[in-house]
Structure 1
């Protein structure tokens, strides 16, 4: 059977710039999992096409790849990032690729996001035995997810479900469904697409009704702030991906939501001049939620200052409505 692959990342050269001529290989640091090396390989291919330079992958093992237990107890999504960043700062590689949803929102001294390539799907997807949709799962079905946000969303839709934690790479989790340990699991559609597993999707959830993690589906190419490769990497940036993903990160940063906070944030381009933004905070049991929606002028949130202002406004409304009573939000102390 042929496996479906996600579209390759095209290079997006910035007007007036051409980055060619240097034949030295760029060293791209990546986690060693199938998903990570696949998406890093797409970035490497795009860099080769745009610059004519060779790019070699440098596999790096992170704590998140070897430790077991709930992600929140291990220090959150940052466990997938720290080792990559340390290798970059030590000069063992020239750039690293992260799934943006794994990237902490606090600034990292000495590092910056050098590019946000074309974004894949932002949606969550259900992978269930016998092709069940969420509504069609049997009463009391066991659904696997390690994300507090997904747990809350699942229980909001189906309070009868047994939602249990799950760890492991995509194929490991899918095998647990095949073996009957779980009736279904929820994963990011982008990851399933990138490694050719879309045939396992029994339902993809609507992005507005089911907002996902800030930056889901987007990649972040990180470089040192003093890197000589800033212009080289910048050719990969896609304007729409950058606008939406960085706006989502600004809201998450302003909320100061920890990894255990059930928060969904989704931004999408709505026409040529607007961005539609949804931010929703859930009680862990899914019984209550507080939602804010905005339509923003794209030009107004094109830079950091505009994104920060919009995020401040959205977070203020969430907190005024009682979001801090539903979830652990450090930002609620303001």
Structure 2
């Protein structure tokens, strides 16, 4: 096996990747934001792509939640028409293909894109058109599915859950809730999660990012989440002693024993204060303890990141090799909201051969 530390960025980019946690409104190209803003008359904080990109990243890095959330005010504002949504979705696929992603679940909140008069159903249709166009142009080198998100501080979760179920055979893989965790527990949306379970539908929940163990516990034990969006605060239930021995609390042990996937987004977590650096990110410990860890981008624009960047950061911080990156990738594919036979086909026909080819170089 060739050591990953000898590989170049371009070689890492060629490795097959699986992305489970990526926000459509957090991954726009700066030029696209400028173009769409000009079309709809939205005022932006910068007038050229480089300056606008820097503003997004600096605002996300500022340590101010207000400034961080302001970045999404601008991206969402320019995603209020069907052509705009389709363009953003198509370009998302193009960018992921260029990054070596072979399977992706991309999430967004339909309720945030109806200010221009679209219905939530029309929003989903527009995004699907863009995804279909991007996948067709890529010659089938990638499979992309939507995750429909409800905002946890709003009261439309049942509506969005029903929308996800109605679209589940047409490109939507599942449901999610997002937004500020503190003061907005997932149990406020228990009716939506109970409906989804009755319908045999898949869902993930943002939990354990800015808020701690109670959020994770509610997401799993009350709501029945199949995956945890972020989940970094599960380390609060893990004790590492001075001699290096480790003891898992009841919740952490349950998460590991049940192989509940953690949708981890290292660079984003640093921006939001969940970790001070990649080297100190809980993903290192959780990987060593063999939790079901997956690696994700969260918001590619705000974090100026790609899956290649995320993987390279882990290689540099923890000395991970090609086997580790293959493990992350297969973890994610096993955890995808895709039928079992389709997951297995991607693992056996795309991921394993792709990593084998890299190892043989």
Which is helix-richer, 1 or 2? Answer: 2
**TM-score, structure 1 as length reference:** 0.28
Q: Which has the higher strand share?
A: 1
TM-score (norm 2): 0.27
